[in-house]
Amino acid sequence: MGYSRPIEMPVLSLGDGGSGTVDIDRAGQLVTVATSGGVRCPMSTETPLPLPQSLSVALDRLEKAVRKHPSLGTGTERSISTITDGLRCTSEEGAFRFETDLPDTMGGGGSGPSPGVLGRAALGSCLAMGYQMRAARLGVDLASLTVEIEADFDVAGMLSLESNARPGYSEVRYHVSVKSSAPEADILRVLDEGDVLSPYRDVFSARTPMKRTVSIEMPTN
């Protein structure tokens, strides 16, 4: 292919739970690593390949690097959410900061999307990105791709301990709309593999262990 420029890829962890970037060469070897608080090595400035070719190259290199250095693929991410006014909540993670709220019918102010909106968006966008990644890896051209999420709920489940309804969703459905000239079998393979590899489909469909810790302080005057 004649393309050997190292690609700067995000990684979940660099062994200390922090964030950073890693440069991976064509064979999946580490070239340079830079943490959010460390020294950054000079990066190449050559013109990148167009999508989806550059996406396929980047995913191939990242997969090889994680295979050679498994610790690159493991880590812990952390977000902080704080009530600021009524039910309004500010959430922060890294450089990102956003507001959530509940509608006035539930005692909120409707000043931002609800956690449910963000949760459904997280699932839909994770699926869409995963399909695009698999399409690039398999060489399947997708002209357009849309994922629609539907989730059934009973609000009684989050309001009353006496309710038999689940606090969460009773069922989640997703519809994938694809425009592509590729054979149907190839498109379905992209979607099937994307489903298997989707982190947030796994979060929604599997039981993930959860642990709570608590710290209590007296308010200061």
Do residues 169 and 202 share a domain? yes
Do residues 123 and 66 share a domain? no
pLDDT over threshold 60, residue 21: no
- Note down the domain range covering 32: 7-73
Residue 41: burial class (beta carbons within 10 Å; 0-12, 13-18, 19+): exposed
How many residues would you count in the chain? 221
Domain assignment of residue 185, yes or no: yes
Do residues 202 and 140 share a domain? yes
Domain assignment of residue 30, yes or no: yes
Which tens digit of pLDDT belongs to each residue from 180-218? 999 999 999 999 999 999 999 999 999 899 999 999 999
Which tens digit of pLDDT belongs to each residue from 137-182? 999 999 999 999 999 999 999 899 888 988 999 999 999 999 999 9
**Number of other residues whose CB lies within 10 A of the CB of residue 198:** 21
Q: Looking at the 3D structure of the chain, how many domains does it have? A: 3
CATH number of the domain that 180 lies in?
Answer: 3.30.300.20
Q: Could you give the dihedral angle defined by the CA atoms of residues 180, 181, 187 and 190, in that order, rounded to the nearest 10 degrees?
A: -70
Do residues 193 and 207 share a domain? yes
Do residues 31 and 118 share a domain? no
Domain assignment of residue 109, yes or no: yes
Domain assignment of residue 65, yes or no: yes
